Amino acid sequence: MKFKHTLALSLVTATLALGTTASHAQTAPTGLKVEAPWARPTVQGQAAGGGFLRIVGGPAGDKLLGASTDIAARVELHTMSMDDNVMRMRQIDSIDVPAGKAVDLAPGGLHVMFMDLKTPLKTGSSFPLTLRFEKAGAVKVDVKVQPAPPAGTPAMKSEHKHDHKH
Ligand SMILES: [Cu+2]
């Protein structure tokens, strides 16, 4: 079983290296994975836009420290929460990625924010984003601009979910 699993992973890596993947997933040498990066379209004059993706921690866990892209002056890490029935965004320094766990950056929760956009984000286009991790280093992904989340990713993330202990 163990051998099979390893083989499967190697095949995935090989496919990514050849650039033939259609899933927009990216795997770092540490085993950390970034899946389904997407961003909402923006209108002319809109200064900032939100980006979303799923990070799956490798065997050691990691921490997202920041990101950069050519299409915006800077990229910030944000969290969003309900405060007296008002959605508020707050900048955070880093996002923890526990070993083997998936962390969703999704509407309503954690996200990357493209600040001072140089060009509007148009549906159907895509742009490169470089994520910077503590252990995995730079991981480059291609962000697809689309109005709705890709299949299989959360449409809306509630931050409260994590805190509920039953
Ligand atoms: Cu934001």
pLDDT given at position 135: 97
Residue-range definition of the domain harbouring residue 47: 24-149
Note whether residue 15 is domain-resident. Answer: no
Domain tally, the chain: 1
Note whether residue 154 is domain-resident. Answer: no
Instruction: From 46, 56, 30, 51, select the one nearest 114 (Cα to Cα).
Output: 51
What's the CA-to-centroid distance between 114 and ligand 1, angstroms?
A: 8
Element (H, E) at 51: strand 49-56
What's the CA-to-centroid distance between 92 and ligand 1, angstroms?
A: 10
Mean pLDDT of the region 120-124: 97
Q: What's the whole-number average pLDDT of the chain? A: 84
What's the CA-to-centroid distance between 24 and ligand 1, angstroms?
A: 23
Dist. CA 166–CA 159, nearest whole Å: 16
What's the CA-to-centroid distance between 152 and ligand 1, angstroms?
A: 22
CATH number of the domain enclosing 88:
2.60.40.1890
pLDDT given at position 163: 41
Note whether residue 71 is domain-resident. Answer: yes
In this predicted structure, the answer to whether residue 8 has a pLDDT above a threshold of 60 is: no
Dist. CA 40–CA 144, nearest whole Å: 9
Tell me which amino acid residue 36 is: A
64-92: pLDDT as tens digits: 999 999 999 999 999 998 888 888 999 99
pLDDT given at position 144: 97
What's the CA-to-centroid distance between 27 and ligand 1, angstroms?
A: 25
What's the CA-to-centroid distance between 48 and ligand 1, angstroms?
A: 8
22-31: pLDDT as tens digits: 457 899 999 9
Q: What is the pTM of this model?
A: 0.79
pLDDT given at position 25: 87
Note whether residue 160 is domain-resident. Answer: no
What's the CA-to-centroid distance between 88 and ligand 1, angstroms?
A: 9
Mean pLDDT of the region 133-147: 97
Note whether residue 76 is domain-resident. Answer: yes
Other C-beta atoms closer than 10 Å to the C-beta of 102 total 12
147-158: pLDDT as tens digits: 999 888 777 754
The more confident residue out of 155 and 33 is 33
